[in-house]
Structure 1
Amino acid sequence: MNIAFFLLPKREVVCLTPTTTLRQTLEKMEHHRYTAVPVLHEDGTYAGTITEGDLLWYFKNNSQVTFETAHRHSLSEVPLRLQHQSVRIDATMEDLLKLVQTQNFVAVVDDTDRFIGIVRRSEVIDYCAKLALKDAQAAR
């Protein structure tokens, strides 16, 4: 199975940049009800994934930053607790499965490291469940 089968293309993915303000980030995450969002450099390469936890810890550890001042601070200031890994579009399913175990989604990049979309964990689980059900029915 090719991982492109699972790809949600970039045009359908909410993405942020390191210059996105914390307020914009919070508002987008709240609006879309996301707990994690990919962050892309200006050239389209994958920079990492910002999570609610990253934001929470940043606000906790920087008492001068409040929701009222969040528009003055950018994502570039927020350390990412986890380094979410990306895969290339030609990666194997095994590579994808290793990452999807610990990430809600896996960023997918092309051969020039440009972000092209994501693979959601739920899509992979659904696919694997269908395969398991098909195998169970065939074994009967």
Structure 2
Amino acid sequence: MNVLMLLKTKDTLSYLYDTDTLKQGLEELHAQGYTAIPVITLEGTYAGCVNEGDFLRYILRHYGEKFPSYVKIKDIIRPGFNPPVRIDIDMDSLLEMSMRQNFIPVVDDRDFFIGIVTRQDIIKSFIKENQDKNNES
């Protein structure tokens, strides 16, 4: 099994551009019911990930009650949060990453965002693989 078998491609999910405003980002999180969302550049490379806490901390730290409608998403991305993987990652490493992340962003060899793999899909895959092995015995 490889990561491509579990990949939710970017054309099937929501993401933000790093040039979107905080307001646009919050609206998208709310509309999708997400707690975290991938962020890409206008060129399509993976820029990072933001979650609800990132928005709240930024707003409280910089503006208090004045909502900043002009601040860009790239201003709140935390370096190293939800790092991406390449499509050739081994499944054990993917499982280990899923212990810390609800989803793992996947990029190609040029760092272009191609989709995500969810923790739920990884767990289901390992359960199915284990069941298949038990059925063969």
Whether TM exceeds 0.5 here: the answer is yes
Over aligned residue pairs, what C-alpha RMSD do you find? 1.9
2:126 aligned residue: 128
1:118 aligned residue: 116
Deviation at 1:85, TM superposition (A): 1.3
In the superposition, the TM-score normalised over structure 2's length comes to 0.89
In the superposition, the TM-score normalised over structure 1's length comes to 0.87
Q: Is the 8 A contact 1:10 1:116 kept in 2?
A: yes
Q: Per-residue CA shift, 1:63-86, capped at 9, x if unaligned?
A: 3563xx332211122142752111
Name stretches of at least 5 consecutive residues in structure 2 with no aligned partner.
none
Paired residue type of 2:97: L
Q: Distance in 2 between matches of 1:41 and 1:4?
A: 22
1:46 aligned residue: 46
Q: Per-residue CA shift, 1:95-125, capped at 9, x if unaligned?
A: 2112111111111111111111110111111
Q: Is the 8 A contact 2:48 2:77 kept in 1?
A: no
Q: What percent identity do the matched residue pairs reach? A: 36
Q: Which has the higher helix share?
A: 1
The alpha-carbon distance between structure 1 residues 117 and 3, as it changes in their structure 2 partners (threshold 3 A), is same
Q: Distance in 2 between matches of 1:55 and 1:82?
A: 17
Q: Distance in 1 between matches of 2:65 and 2:102?
A: 28
1:60 aligned residue: 60
The alignment covers a number of residue pairs equal to 137
Q: Is the 8 A contact 1:22 1:75 kept in 2?
A: yes
1:91 aligned residue: 89
